Chain A
Amino acid sequence: MTEPTQTPAAPDERPIVSLRDVRRDYALGAERVHALQGVTLDVERGDYVAIVGPSGCGKSTLLNLIGVIDQPTSGTVEIGGKRVDDMSDWEATSFRLYNIGFVFQRFYLMPILSALENVALPMAEAKVPREERRERAAQLLAYVGLSNRERHRPSELSGGEQQRVAIARALANRPTLVLADEPTGELDAHTGAEIISLFQRLNADGTTIVVVTHDEGLADAARRKIHMRDGKVVDGSA
């Protein structure tokens, strides 16, 4: 089964993610932490990028800016040719809903919803009709290999299964981009490997993926590795 991504009407040669001289400072009391110090980066459509580097070098900060849940102090962020760095909360929310799929280290499923309902949640928000929602959520669960777990609550699933539900949820509204921050961080090597191959399959089916990771296996599976240090991209920027 293939997972269709949103293909643009005309073939688009431009990068799907494009950052120019992006800086992000945090105020920490009276001090300023320069978490990103001028990042310039492009990600091509259909690419699979792993961002690696030592702890605290700004990987999550960078991913949050690409995911439009944070805004840069300066510089520009474009996604699918659209400026996202100065969007209002309302625009950003709707942009995330239709264009970004998030996968988190700790899965973060809604504990009281079943696997199927968790996957359907972003579709409900996007006002997809109930029947269609159900059908597609079931398809997505099948895609991640969890057809038999539809009715299960997160607490009744293993870590690897929860992460696969989270990946299905990320795909719910056919996003242009899937972002994952340490998606194997909470998993053992074996389950982690399952997630790695799931990401590879997802990318092979056309989804653009950006992961942040310390996991060598996951980073090696990506088509491209970007190394960061001290808030800068040191190797692999396009």
Chain B
Amino acid sequence: MRTTLAQASLIRHRARTLLAVLGVAVAAAMLLDMVMLATGMRESFRELLVSRGFDLRLAPKGTLPFDTDATIPGVAAITSVLRNNPDIREISPVLGASIHIPIRNREGEGQGDVSSAVLGIDPTVQGDYEFLSGRDVTTPDAIVANDYLIRRLRARIGDTLAVATGYDPQTRTYSGQRKLVLMGRARFVYGAADQSAAAVRRETLEAMEGQARHDHASLFMIRVRKGADPDRVREWIETYIPSVSAISIATAIAQVDQRLSYFRQLAFILGAVSLFVGFLLVTTLVTVSVNERSGEIAVMRAIGVSRAHVVQQVVLEGVAISFAGALIGLGLGLATARYLNAILSAFPGLPMAIDFFLFQPSSAWTALALLVASGIAAGVYPAWRAASLPIAESLRREAIA
């Protein structure tokens, strides 16, 4: 009977109820987006780190991977130390550098050059790119590049490129130049769609970079044996190889988390604001509805309906609006999140795989639970008003009206 009455009160003013539900839906959409934003970047960053299956990254002591130009010397020595730990399954040293490739038109005239990031890797254990087509860097004079770089070079698979690791703009001379054959296309996992990226064998890059970079790596990526604890391995490495910082996925995420705390605060505040707006909307509507029905409520009280039941009926009304709004809002939130994500992902310099808004069922549940809770809270004030209505006086006022 209570549900019937609550439902009836909502149906009686169909248009008004619908508007309130839509208002709550907008607030709910905003809330969901903010919950998604609060966790989305961290989650997608984690997925990015986990995606290639490497558990640990070794960077020069005190830095983050590719944070500085610093490198780790003694790749061969470090590798042989690492081999002593039976929990380490795969070791992938990576050397990062930049390259300059002059482009010429068909007449052979210089057209300036294109610069790009390049990684020196071992193709059998690399975790930096997804090979797409052609052939991988199986030979010392091979290079693979991402589509963006290939487009900028106006090159085709099979073309020979004059690749240099150094360029002096004063004298307009290249250093460390070498002829490499563009063998294949690749998608670089940690790179953005609008950033040039290429990969060659590490020996090739070392050779081009000269003596200074011989036996150096910017980063090691390490896969541990199944069942082994990456953190134990991390401690082991830091003990035996003092020149590196070992970063597990968990610590990397914690570090990213710290950098993202502004995002989360923003999301938290905006989420709280939308929740509050939804709350006010529902309180207002239910209060208006209770005021309108004061005579009806007084009659119910007079014929013996308890305060508790009046309260339940009013609270139910608020919850029903919030719940309906939340359901519509979740759909709306997903749509806006997708749209916003597309805008933000085009932000220059971000890895393609990073999402700002990541849908997780837990986000939806969180948003839904918050909304239903706020719906209950929103009913409290009008319910209290309804329950404490002076019966005789309300009936009298109703009779005069």
Residues of A within 8 A of B (CB): 60-61, 64, 67, 69-70, 89-90, 93-94, 96-98, 100-102, 104-106, 108, 110-113, 117, 120-122, 124-126, 169-170, 173
Contacts and interface: CB of A to CB of B under 8 A. Distances in A.
Contacts of B252: none
Contacts of A124: 1
B392 A98 contact: no
B254 interface: no
Contact of B304 (A61, A70, A104, A173): A173
A126 B304 contact: yes
Given A105-B399, A112-B5, A112-B12, A70 B392 contact: yes
A69 B306 contact: no
18 contacts: A61-B392, A69-B302, A70-B392, A89-B307, A96-B303, A97-B305, A100-B304, A101-B303, A102-B302, A105-B399, A110-B5, A110-B300, A111-B8, A112-B9, A112-B11, A121-B300, A121-B305, A125-B306
Contacts of B5: 110, 112-113
Given A60-B396, A69-B392, A121-B1, A102 B307 contact: no
Most chain A beta-carbon contacts within 10 A, residue among B12, B302, B306: B302
Interface string B231-257: 000000000000000000000000000
B296 interface: yes
Contact of A96 (B9, B295, B302, B307): B302
Closest 6 CB pairs of A and B: A97-B304, A112-B8, A70-B392, A69-B391, A108-B299, A64-B392
A122 B304 contact: yes
Interface of B: 1, 4-5, 8-9, 11-12, 295-296, 299-307, 309, 391-392, 395-396, 398-399
Contacts of A60: 396
Contacts of B4: 112-113, 117
Contacts of B395: 64, 69, 104
Given A113-B5, A117-B1, 15 more contacts: A60-B396, A64-B392, A70-B392, A93-B305, A94-B306, A97-B305, A98-B304, A102-B303, A104-B395, A106-B399, A110-B8, A111-B296, A112-B11, A112-B12, A121-B1
Nearest to A61: B392
B296 A108 contact: yes
A207 to B, nearest CB: 16
Contacts of B303: 96-97, 101-102, 121-122, 125, 169-170
B302 A67 contact: yes
Contacts of B392: 61, 64, 69-70
Given A110-B296, A112-B8, A112-B12, A93 B399 contact: no
A30 B396 CA distance: 21
Given A112-B5, A112-B12, A70 B391 contact: yes
Nearest to A126: B304
Nearest to A120: B1
A69 B305 CA distance: 12
Contacts of B11: 112
Contacts of A120: 1
A93 B301 contact: yes
Contacts of A96: 302-304
A146 B380 CA distance: 39
B187 to A, nearest CB: 61
A113 B96 CA distance: 76
A53 B296 CA distance: 28
Most A CB contacts (10 A, CB to CB) among B5, B11, B399 go to B399
